[in-house]
Amino acid sequence: MPNSSDRATPNQTSYYVLLGLHPGASALEIRRAYRELSKRYHPDTTELPRAIATVKFQQLNEAYATLSNPERRQSYDLKIGYSRLRVIQAPSDLNRPVRSQSRSNSAYLDPTDRPLSAGEVFALFILGLTFLGCLLLALAIGLTRGEVAP
């Protein structure tokens, strides 16, 4: 368990704040923020004094190196006290009695039961035609060979 001296102090900027992100940011968001800020603060392209730009650019590189590596990011999150675990809250109406007949606002009895889309209907139509074609082909082959079913 991290002690209080390991946590980020108010004068020490967290990597997320440095990149302008929330701790729950995705890897893609971290990469985009880093690329944008590294272009802005690169010592060769910025209008800031070189010493300030170099320090800022090094901070961005350190932040990105930590947050782009899943193991290092998890360790850093523990260090700053951020948890990615979602705590499931009990519903507010947990102790309310259940009604004997509950009616759904949906016209369908089962929420997974829904009308087929146009693409699904077309696929079923093609499958049906293929099955019918196979049956007709089997009959044609049977008739041309002279085999008759009893």
Q: Which pLDDT tens digit goes with each residue over 50-106?
A: 898 899 999 999 999 999 898 898 888 888 877 666 556 666 666 777 665 555 555
The tokens 């782009």 sit on which residue? 68
Domain extent, residue 39, equals 15-80
pLDDT greater than 60 at residue 3: no
Residues 75 and 123 in one domain: no
Give the pLDDT confidence score for residue 77 in this predicted structure.
Answer: 86
Q: How far apart are CA 98 and CA 68, in angstroms?
A: 47
Indicate the pTM of the whole model: 0.49
Reading the block at residue 34, the tokens are 């880093």
Evaluate whether residue 7 is within a structural domain. Answer: no
Model pLDDT for residues 16-25, shown as the tens digit of each residue: 888 998 888 8
Q: What is the CATH number of the domain that holds 69?
A: 1.10.287.110
Residue 31: φ, ψ to 5°: -65, -45
Evaluate whether residue 101 is within a structural domain. Answer: no
